[in-house]
Amino acid sequence: MPSQFLGLNTGLSGLNYFQSALNTTSHNVSNANKTGYSKQQVKASASDALRLNQPYGMMGTGITATGVERLRNVYYDNKYWNTTSKYNEYEAEKTNLQQLEVYMNEMSGNSGYSEWLNRFSNALQDLSDNPSDYTARISFTSTVDSYTDMINELADNFQSQQKTINDEIELGVSEINSLAKRIFELSQQITTIELRGGAANDLRDERGVCIDKLAEYVDVDVQEASIIFGTGKDAFESDATTMSIRIDGNILVDEMGYHELMVVPREERLNQNDVDGLVDIYWKGAANSKSDIFHTTRTTGKLCGLINIRDGNNGELFKGEITSKTDAPASVSIELPESINIYKLNVPNQGTITLNGREYIYDGWTAEYDENDNLNNFTFLNMTMINAAGEEVPAIIDDGMVGTQGQIGDSNNNKGIPYYQARLNEMVRTFSDYMNKLTTSGVDENGDEGLDMFTAQDVDGSDYVLKGSMEGTGTLSSTDSSYYKITALNWELNQSWQLEPGKVVVSYAEDIAQGHVERRPIVDAITYGLTDTKMFQQGSISQYMQAVTTNLAVDISKITAFSNNQDDIKYIISNQRLSVSGVDSNEEASDLVKFENLYNLASKVISVLNEVYDKLINDTGR
C-alpha cells in the first residue's frame, strides 16, 4: 500500500522538474546570440511506479529529471562541415584570381599594355618619318623600354601575390595546429565529465565551434563513438564518448592526442617564375622532423584553394619516361611524350625532380632541339639527394629506375599563378624572337651587324646574345644563351639600344652601303609585326594578351558561380542545423510561460495536499 505522503512526493517531483526546466530555459535565453550554442532541454521520464497488488495495476509516482540534453543533429553537422570546406576553397580561389584580374585590368587600361602598344606604334611612326633622327630614336627606345617595364611589373605583381598566398598558407597551418590542440583539450575535459555522469554540453558547443573553424581550412571526417566498459558478453556502452578527426585521410585528433602539420620551405623552384621561399606542407614527425607530405589534392577547404592558385599549372607539368642514367656524377635522361617548344618551357635551371616517387636535386640540364625549336630528351645533371640525416649527398640512382617516370612538381589542373606566368613568358619569348629576327637581319647606322632588339641580362650584367641560338638541330644547355633565358620578369630592350641610339636598326646593309640612310624597311616590318595576326595562335600580341585576360575572367566567372552555389547550399544547411539546435526567442518565451504555469500547478498540488494532510492529522478525531 502506498504511503499517505505519496502525493506530496509526486508533487515535489514535478516542482523540481519544472524548476530545472525554467533554469535551462533561462540558460538558453542568456546564450541565444552566442556563436555555436546549442539549445538545451531537460530530459525526463516517469518515476518508477508502485505495485499496488490491486486489479487496477500500478500507481505513478511523478517525474524524474534524467539530465540536460543538447539538441544537435550529427547529419546536419557533417553536411555543414563538408559544404563549408568547399565554399571556402572556392572563395580563396575567387579572391586571389580577382586580385590577378586587377593587375591584368591595370595592364589593359589607359596605362596598360594596350595603351603602351599604341605608344609603341606611334613611336615607330615617328621613327619611320625620321629614321636617322636621334630624337626620334631616343623617343622610340624609351617607349619600348617602358613597355617591357610594364610587363616586368605585371610579372612582379604576380610574384607578390604568390608570396602573399604563401604567407596565408603558413598562417592557415598554424591555425589548424592551434585548433587541433584546443579540440583535444576540450575532448579530454568532456570525456572526464561524462565518465562521472555529468553533462558537458557547453564544452561540446565550444568544441563544435572549433570544428566549424577547422572545416573552413580542410575537409574534416569526424567520428564519435561510445566508450566501452568490459569485454565480451559483459561489455556495455557508457554515456561518455571519444572523438576522432581525420584530414587528408590521417588522424588529426583522437583520444590519444593530436597531430600537427608543419611547413617546409622549398630549397628549389618547381616553376621558372616561382618566388623564392614557397613552402610545402608535411605532417610533423618526431623531434620536429617532417613526416609524410600533406596531400591538399585529397581534401577541400581554404588551404586547398590557396595552393590551387599558388601552384596551379593547368596540369602542364614536366613529365616523361626515364630512358637512361649515369653515375659519378649522377644524371638521368627523360623523354617526353611530346616535345615542348622553348617558348613554353617552364622548367627551372636548377630545381627538384621526382624520379619514381623520390625527390632529387639537379643543378642544370641539357636537351635536344629540332629545326622548329622543340625540345626533348632532357638530361638532368649533377644530381644530389637528401639522406636520412637530412644531408645533401651525391644521388644514387638504381638501374631499376630506367623505364619509370620522372616529373617536376605536381599536376594541378587549376589555372593559377604558374600558369599565367608561363603565358607571359610565352608572350615575351615569341614576340622577342619575331622582332629579333627582323633587327638582326639588318645593320645599325654604322653598317655594323644588327643586335637583338629584345633580350635579358645575364648574371654579369651583359645581355644574352640570342641571334643564331638553336639554329637547325643540336643540344641546348640550360646555361646557354637562348629564349629560355627570357622571362616576363627580366625581359628588356637591348642595353646597347638604350645607350646608343645609333645601334637602333632601321635598314638593311645594302641601304646603308648605298647611302640610303632614310630608308626604313625594318621599321616598317616591326610596325607590321605589332598587328601580325599570325604571330600567336590567338592572333597579334594585343589579341594574345586580351585572350589571357579573357581566360582569367572566364575562370573567375566559373569559380564565382561555384562559390555562390556552395554559399546557397551552406545557407540552407545552416538553417536546417539551426532549426534543430538554434535558440528561438519566441519559442523560449513560450516555454517560460509554459513551465511557469506548470511550476505553479505543481505548487498548487503540494498546497492542496498540505491542506488534506493538515485536516487528516490535526482535525481527525476531534
Q: What is the pLDDT of residues 117-155, one digit of tens each?
A: 888 899 999 999 988 889 999 999 999 999 999 999 999
Q: What is the average pLDDT value for the chain, to the nearest integer?
A: 91
Phi and psi torsions of 591, nearest 5°? -65, -40
Q: How many other CB atoms sit within 10 Å of the CB of residue 514?
A: 11
pLDDT band, residue 111 (cuts 50/70/90): low
Query: Which pLDDT value is given to residue 328?
Result: 87
Determine the pLDDT at residue 109.
Answer: 61
On whether the CB atoms of residues 282 and 292 are closer than 8 A, the answer is yes
Torsion angle (degrees, nearest 10) of CA 141, 142, 143, 147: 100
Q: Which helix (H) or strand (E) holds 237?
A: strand 236-247
pLDDT tens digits, 360-381: 999 999 999 999 999 999 999 9
- Of 329-333, 466-470, 483-487, 491-495, least confident by mean pLDDT is 466-470
Closest of 533, 518, 535 to residue 438, by C-alpha: 535
Residue 439's closest CA among 140, 154, 119, 153? Answer: 140
What is the pLDDT, as a whole number, of residue 258?
Answer: 95
4-17 pLDDT, tens digit per residue, is 677 788 888 889 99
pLDDT tens-digit readout, 310-320 = 999 999 999 99
Q: What is the reported pLDDT for 593? A: 94
- pLDDT above 70 covers what percent of the chain? 97
For 376, list phi and psi in degrees, rounded to 5.
-160, 180
Determine if the peptide bond prior to 329 is cis (ω within 30°). yes
Distance CA 594, CA 590 (A): 6
pLDDT category at 265 given cuts 50, 70, 90 is very high
Query: What mean pLDDT comes out for the span 445-462?
Result: 92
229 vs 188, 212, 225, CA distance in Å?
18, 31, 13
Question: Is the entire prediction scored with pTM above 0.85?
Answer: yes
- Structure confidence at residue 36 as a pLDDT band (50, 70, 90): very high
Strands (E), 336-455: 340-341, 351-355, 358-362, 365-369, 374-386, 392-394, 405-408, 454-455
Distance between CA atoms of residues 255 and 223, nearest Å: 11
Q: Give the pLDDT mean for 162-189.
A: 97
Residue 122's beta-bridge partner residues?
A: none
Band (388; pLDDT cuts 50, 70, 90): confident
Task: Give 183's contacts (C-beta < 8 A, 6+ positions apart).
Answer: 207, 210, 211, 214, 243, 245, 253, 258
CB-based contacts of 52: which residues, under 8 Å, 6+ apart? 1, 2, 58, 59
pLDDT-based confidence at 108, cuts 50/70/90? low
